[in-house]
Structure 1
Amino acid sequence: MEQRKFPYLSAPITIGRTTFRNRMFSAPMGGTDITNDGCIGPKSAAFYELRARGGAAAVTVSELMVHPETDGSHAYHLDESILNSLAAATYAADAIRRHGAIPSLELSHSGQFAGTYMTDKSKQHNLHQWGPCDGVRADGAHVKALSQEMIDDIVAHYAHVAGLAKRAGFEMLMIHGGHGWLINQFLSLLFNHREDEYGGSLENRCRFAVEVLKAVRQAVGPFFPIEFRMSGSEFCEGGYDIDEGVRIAQQIEPYVDIIHVSAGTYQKTFGITHPSMFEPHGRNVYLAAEIKKHVSKPVATIGGLTDPEMMEEIIASGQADIVYMARQLLADPETPRKVIEGRPEEIVHCLRCFTCMAERAATSTRRCTVNPLIGREMDGVEVTPAPVKRKVMIAGAGPGGLYAAYTAARRGHDVTVYEKESEVGGILKSEQALPFKHEMYELSGTYKLLAEKAGAKIVTNTTVTPELVSQVKPYALIIATGSTPVIPAIPGLRGEDGANVVIVNDYYKQKDRVTDEVVILGGGLAGCECGIHLGMEGKKVKIVEMGGALAPDANVRHRPLMLEEVDKYCEVYTSHRGIEVRSDGVLAENEKGEQVLISGSTVICALGQKSTTDQVEKLMDTAPYVRVIGDASRVSTITNAVYLGHHAALDI
């Protein structure tokens, strides 16, 4: 056989007596249908199984709370007294193992942040919160110190649950000691101010973790892989840094088989623990690399890893022995298979948009912007050939149209996509100008490649008209004509008067027209992100928003991180309505009715999008099967366009 394109990522690794087929592991991500009593529901089992099918060497089911008496989080439990608990865990482990992946289970305790995953946050405050010390959380909830008797009971429960997990068929355990959860609360001076044998010195602060690991080892035996997940650094005032992270790893090393190095602490470092689009890919790898210098056990790394070249270099250069992916394996569960088979160009890359995590917070399910299967795996993950092959015409080569073409072509249909512009991508073309959103621009190229490899044809510079439909005579027409910018009749915004105006969608083509002083009219997602980019370039940026808040529709995970960046780079005028665009800026009216000149020599119009309703209406009755998807139906998200495009193609 020829040399693998990524030989280090593709190489097996043996830990204890367990051989993992490659170095790409699927990181813990909470499931989608946790039952009221904490069982792993069938949708969750399917959610984890998809990543096993995709070639990951290990798949970690997350999170199982070991001690419900002191941690009332709505997460998984494993308890013989709960009907179906052991059976549900067994089905989940089996669903992973039958595809050649090693099933792993993350054992955890939230400590003073119990109830985190409840969609009804008011119930979290009704729970008793337990931690290393008495205290009051930042949100006012009271925390009680765990007694020695309670600590002993929690340690015993770790051991008991570990034994049950092994009985259920899990072949590795991850002990969660990072991110501000209970074990980390003992490790860190941020939380631990005890004066007994669990507080003070580093050895004392590591005592609880060591007791847990010893108890788990006793329960599972000598050759069963135990992985310890830790934050290499907490990245906040009062927390520990990488130097202490190294010392913690050394204290833990004798009792574990893998040291899994993550980063950060609860609530304070969300965009670092799960690197946002504003952070470099692999921004936490250096933590694992430093710890690896001081330990001999295998070290795993994680954090915004999506690029096979980067991951190959991490292993090849000895920075880590294993790479973990979470969001990337939602975006493309087949990433490991594509790496091993030398097809990296076919990988659909994670956008780091946080749709997956925001959806879990909103509805306790999962969605992925770029993968319509995620969270809906039981609806079917195989695209089966259609019994009757049809001629399919798709109007518009944005993300929804391209994904519809990909699905329809895999079903064996004769598919042609028509795009009025010279380049595919629709509204995503505008993202090429923003370095932190370049994956979003690249997405359309990946979808185009996948659609063409599946057999779809793509015709550019061609507008779909009723006449063209009549000429082509398709059975199915999928209308994915997208949206156009909203440009209201504000004096100076249009025509010759708008000589200093750039429409945000066209910024990528007109960057040279943008001066060093910019007013962005519209504080939605597009306006804010454009403002951040221009601010990063050193321009003076002012955002004018008619509403009382910026980007209220942005998802709950991305929005706070985006607003932090806006604060760094932009001056913001909310509750200001633009009434005139002038050569020296925007004349706006504030909520008191006063007129204010917001100065700037360039004005960027980012006032939203509207559906291409006229075009849709002309095409609605031109083929036997017609479906309208994405922004053409209702201005929404890429997530919506891709999901509806996939299902429109399945319905043909």
Structure 2
Amino acid sequence: MFKKEMFENMFKPGKIGNLEIKNRLVVPPMLSEYADEEGNLTERYIRYYEEKAKGGFGLIIAEDNAVEPRGAGFTKLPGLWHDSQIEKHKEFTSRIQAYGTKIFVQIYHAGREASESIIGMQPVAPSPVHDPAIFEIPHELTLEEVIELEDKFVASIVRAQKAGYDGIELHGAHGYLINQFVSPFSNKRTDIYGGNLMNRLRFPLNIIKKAYEKVGNDFVITYRISADEFVEGGLTIEDSKIIAPILEDAGIKAIHVSGAVYKTGYLPSAPYQAPTALFSDLAKEIKSVVTIPVIAVNKINTPFVAESILKQGKSDFVAIGRASIADPEFPNKVMEGRLEDIIPCIACDQGCQGYIGVQKPVSCLVNPRTGREGEYNLEKVANPKKVMVIGGGLAGMQAGVVAAIKGHQVEIFEKSDRLGGQWLLAAIPPGKEVFNSFVVYLKGQLDKHNVKVHLNTEVTEEVINTFNPDHIILSAGANPITIPFKGIETNKNVVQANEVLSGKVMPGRNVAIIGGGLVGMETAEHLAVHSSSVTVIEMKETHLEEMAGIPKAFMMKSLEHNKVAIRLGTKLEEIRENSIVFSKNGVSEELFIDQIILAIGSRPNIALEEIIKGKYSYTKAGDITGVADGIISVKEGYEAALNI
């Protein structure tokens, strides 16, 4: 349907310095937590990047490599602070370059965005001003210590050259140490490293000058910039349009245009609620003032978006970040015209930024193989089996696809009239329409691998016995819970959240939602956007506990904007005909509403397990296991199929 000629700009060779890059597709530096705790590269780390090189990316910029242990803002961050680390980096670069892909490494120091809990000591910074997201006063670097850190950056760059990297990227963005020197938001010094723009730029300019003296002017040094920090008193795009030509004059070979700092850290990995390619206009502004190549980044998650940015001349290269985590074969699939086979990034941020935020290794909701490339064997089995998948939600669909790829004969049985299960409802709230792209992808893969699907089919013992499977994957989902409150049995205004989201029940004008979990809050946002007045009642003192931090930040802004009232630590006492009674700290209150929506969780549908137990080989996956979490459900479906 789509020809590769539609994406001609993406596949034109490009140059950075004297390096020729085979296409315009870049993997930007993204933390993986795949290094070991001593900062050494591991086989898991190398294989993860190697998949992207196999997948056809022209340039990979490996994630933040710290210049010293106290510069590591995460527990398993790779480093280039010691010569003993070089050998493993040599193996890494040679394995990436074997596929015709150029490999850079990002050189970084977290500065005040490190934490004593991680590095075991007080973090350092240009000034003793705490980061709003860390809340620890850093040690103010002395003049001698600043010069020492410049030399540590240079030493790491020299090691990178010795390790065979084609170039390096200085991390001057996102509020890390270089950015801390450059920005008036964090730099309050009055010596030669502060007080005016050129003094604030002295730290990175000295690093660049000293580095070129060691590695030669032909070695590629690029710079990542937060072109707008989006904070009070921070750098703006107009500041960065002054800075960029200065960096070019210093010898920087390309500028990688990002934005934000930790305080505004929900922006650099923009979730589903945010606009597409929201930093591309920043890239365009920087490109207007320099002659060196510019790289655009952030939520460039489809080939159409990438091609559009290049075609408009906003940038010279496009960074495909989370979409490369979702599908490392993104370039090859575009080149071969297999767009329907691209695993779509839905910008959920669950397995990538969500996991990184709690110091866990990166995973991916739509691609459980991410980071497990050496563990998940997709080769065909020697003895195919007849596999029955009960339930066509995400877990069942993913299981069906993987089992079919493995060579099994697979059929899916779904009691409703469509595939997707609860995930279809998850795609209803504002901004989450993109979630449907994963269902569409899985449906296409089921067709491609000849998986027969039975819709409108209630599975009974007779149906199972007639099919007579060798193995069953039980992914029958879960059913909403109803609470035994006074007045609930006779009140016609009490409905379930899934009934409202699915369009089976017309929402009220004034509604109370019982439950402040993900379903309740997303239902609240959806109804408020569509002109209902919404109050959420939650017994706990917290809400949205299961939601990743970045999408949560966007949702909270939306809930506030749409005037959703959230009552935490509040107990529902009684449901009346046109009101509810609730209490907090022993004080009761009545709220007049025209609809009560229950969103208090689900109970696994285990009835079929009692039928098949002891009679058939089976595996459970998805909400039936009680997880009610998309990333775990998909992983369970994937692994259930692998283990047949």
TM-score, normalised with respect to structure 1: 0.92
8 Å CA contact 1:159–1:218 kept in 2: the answer is no
Give 2:618's aligned residue.
626
CA deviation profile, 1:603-629 (whole Å, cap 9, x unmatched): 222111110011332233443x31111
Return the match for 1:369 from 365, 378, 397: 365
8 Å CA contact 1:114–1:127 kept in 2: the answer is no
Return the match for 2:126 from 122, 132, 142: 132
Return the match for 1:204 from 199, 205, 218: 199
Give 1:261's aligned residue.
257
Return the match for 1:230 from 222, 225, 240: 225
CA deviation profile, 1:37-69 (whole Å, cap 9, x unmatched): 211122211222222222222222211111346
Return the match for 2:575 from 569, 578, 581: 581
Return the match for 1:548 from 541, 546, 549: 541
* 1:49 equivalenced with 2:50 (yes/no): yes
* 1:34 equivalenced with 2:29 (yes/no): no
Give 1:108's aligned residue.
108
Unmatched runs of 5 consecutive residues or more in structure 2: none
Equivalents in 1 of 2:537, 2:200: separation in Å?
50
Give 1:454-533 correspondences, 5 Å limit.
Answer: 454-493=449-488, 497-510=490-503, 513-533=506-526
Give 1:388-427 correspondences, 5 Å limit.
Answer: 388-427=383-422
Equivalents in 2 of 1:332, 1:41: separation in Å?
21
* 1:275 equivalenced with 2:245 (yes/no): no
8 Å CA contact 2:166–2:220 kept in 1: the answer is yes
Amino acid at match of 2:50: E
Equivalents in 2 of 1:72, 1:565: separation in Å?
30
Equivalents in 2 of 1:288, 1:130: separation in Å?
30
Amino acid at match of 1:274: S
Equivalents in 1 of 2:245, 2:593: separation in Å?
56
Equivalents in 2 of 1:136, 1:314: separation in Å?
37
Give 2:79's aligned residue.
77
CA deviation profile, 1:396-454 (whole Å, cap 9, x unmatched): 11111111111111111111111111110010111332231112233112111112212
SS in 1 for 2:139: strand
Equivalents in 2 of 1:451, 1:71: separation in Å?
43
8 Å CA contact 2:182–2:197 kept in 1: the answer is yes
Equivalents in 2 of 1:256, 1:493: separation in Å?
67
8 Å CA contact 2:525–2:559 kept in 1: the answer is yes
Equivalents in 1 of 2:411, 2:74: separation in Å?
49
Worse overlay, 602-611 or 143-152? 143-152
Q: CA deviation at 1:353?
A: 2.5
Q: CA deviation at 1:228?
A: 0.6
Q: 1:159 to 1:481 in 2, by over 3 A?
A: same
CA deviation profile, 1:142-188 (whole Å, cap 9, x unmatched): 32332332222222222221121122121121110011011111111
Pairwise CA RMSD of aligned residues? 2.3
Give 1:97's aligned residue.
97
Q: 1:167 to 1:505 in 2, by over 3 A?
A: same
Amino acid at match of 2:98: R
Give 1:221's aligned residue.
216
Equivalents in 2 of 1:94, 1:584: separation in Å?
70
Return the match for 1:349 from 344, 350, 356: 344
Q: 1:140 to 1:459 in 2, by over 3 A?
A: closer
Q: 1:113 to 1:509 in 2, by over 3 A?
A: closer
CA deviation profile, 1:285-343 (whole Å, cap 9, x unmatched): 11111111121111111112212212211110111111112222212222222222222
Equivalents in 2 of 1:556, 1:70: separation in Å?
23
Equivalents in 2 of 1:133, 1:597: separation in Å?
52
Q: CA deviation at 1:190?
A: 0.3
SS in 2 for 1:100: coil
* 1:650 equivalenced with 2:642 (yes/no): yes
8 Å CA contact 1:71–1:129 kept in 2: the answer is no
Number of positions where the alignment pairs a residue of Structure 1 with one of Structure 2: 638
Q: CA deviation at 1:221?
A: 2.8
8 Å CA contact 1:24–1:56 kept in 2: the answer is yes
Q: CA deviation at 1:513?
A: 1.3
SS in 2 for 1:9: coil
Q: CA deviation at 1:585?
A: 3.4
Give 2:62's aligned residue.
61
Amino acid at match of 2:596: V
Q: 1:140 to 1:446 in 2, by over 3 A?
A: closer
TM-score, normalised with respect to structure 2: 0.94
Equivalents in 1 of 2:73, 2:253: separation in Å?
29
Equivalents in 1 of 2:443, 2:72: separation in Å?
47
Q: CA deviation at 1:564?
A: 4.2
Equivalents in 1 of 2:282, 2:82: separation in Å?
39
* 1:536 equivalenced with 2:537 (yes/no): no
SS in 1 for 2:29: strand
Q: 1:512 to 1:614 in 2, by over 3 A?
A: closer
Equivalents in 1 of 2:585, 2:621: separation in Å?
38
Give 1:118's aligned residue.
none
* 1:639 equivalenced with 2:639 (yes/no): no
Q: 1:293 to 1:404 in 2, by over 3 A?
A: same
Equivalents in 1 of 2:345, 2:487: separation in Å?
39
8 Å CA contact 1:63–1:108 kept in 2: the answer is yes
Equivalents in 2 of 1:622, 1:363: separation in Å?
42
Equivalents in 1 of 2:231, 2:63: separation in Å?
25
Q: 1:442 to 1:490 in 2, by over 3 A?
A: farther
Q: CA deviation at 1:641?
A: 1.4
Identity across the alignment (%): 28
CA deviation profile, 1:221-274 (whole Å, cap 9, x unmatched): 3333322100010001111211112111121122212110001012x1121122
Q: CA deviation at 1:512?
A: 7.1
8 Å CA contact 1:90–1:169 kept in 2: the answer is yes
Unmatched runs of 5 consecutive residues or more in structure 1: 116-120
Equivalents in 2 of 1:403, 1:170: separation in Å?
38
8 Å CA contact 1:407–1:646 kept in 2: the answer is yes
Amino acid at match of 1:43: R
Q: 1:352 to 1:591 in 2, by over 3 A?
A: farther
CA deviation profile, 1:479-509 (whole Å, cap 9, x unmatched): 1111111122334545xx4433342122233
